[in-house]
């Protein structure tokens, strides 16, 4: 059975992290909410989140670790030397990592985005390009780099696409849930409503 950790830091974009947890748990993936340095996290929009555990060496045991964005949350992830060390170990072991919105700035600072295809929230690519100049920024909803085992996405509205990209990378059949959550309906009809 696959295990995923979603790492939450103060100032995180709540919808991005919780959408990932929700979709993966609906797919019966063991998905733990992991606080960066404490269990009780204050989201960017004053939504209080209670995590299952706190970042420690067990992060190395997960099949995939995901970061939600939010400017302050992403900066907190980026600036954690303990998290940087663990994520570099994961990357060197060839494990999947994912980040969305502003959070790719953390992966870039860790050196994980070097040579990888990725995306992020508009404007944050300036930081990612500075910290990972050999990375390849794309302006698409999600980017899955199978060679470097990195999944990235753009921002709050792309949270479900991000969660499904994670599930797809882990080899999970997402078709029934996409239909059940009306995700396909949304994807097929979004252009008509704009």
Q: Residue 192: what pLDDT? A: 65
Parts of the chain with a pLDDT under 50? none
Look up the CATH number of the domain holding residue 31: 3.40.50.880
Give me the pLDDT at residue 186, please: 85
3 state SS of 136: strand
Nearest Cα to Cα of residue 143 among 175, 172, 176, 121: 121
pLDDT at 191: 64
* Total domain count, the chain: 1
Domain range for 119: 3-193
pLDDT in the model for residue 1: 83
Q: What is the pTM of this model?
A: 0.96
The string of pLDDT tens digits covering residues 131-181 is 999 999 999 999 999 999 999 999 999 999 999 999 999 999 999 999 999
Q: For residues 44 and 11, what is the distance between their CA atoms, to the nearest angstrom?
A: 4
Residue 95 φ/ψ, nearest 5 degrees: -95, 155
Beta strand pairing status for 3-8 and 30-35?
parallel
């Amino acid at each position: 059975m696959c295990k995923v950790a979603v790492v939450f830091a103060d100032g995180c974009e709540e919808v991005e992290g919780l959408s990932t947890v929700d979709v993966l748990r609906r797919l019966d993936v063991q998905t733990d909410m992991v606080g960066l340095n404490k269990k009780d996290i204050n989201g960017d929009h004053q939504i209080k989140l209670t995590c299952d555990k706190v970042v420690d060496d067990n992060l190395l045991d997960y099949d995939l670790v995901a970061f939600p964005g939010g400017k302050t949350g992403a900066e907190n992830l980026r600036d954690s030397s303990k998290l940087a060390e663990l994520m570099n170990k994961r990357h060197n072991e060839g494990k999947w990592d994912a980040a969305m919105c502003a959070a790719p700035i953390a992966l870039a600072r860790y050196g994980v985005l070097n040579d990888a295809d990725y995306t992020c929230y508009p404007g944050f690519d300036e930081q990612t390009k500075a910290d990972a100049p050999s990375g390849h920024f794309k302006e698409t909803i999600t980017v899955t780099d199978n060679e470097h085992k990195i999944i990235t996405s753009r921002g709050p509205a792309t949270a479900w696409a991000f969660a499904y990209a994670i599930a797809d990378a882990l080899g999970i059949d997402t078709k029934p849930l996409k239909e059940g959550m009306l995700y396909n309906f949304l994807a097929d009809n979004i252009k008509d409503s704009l």
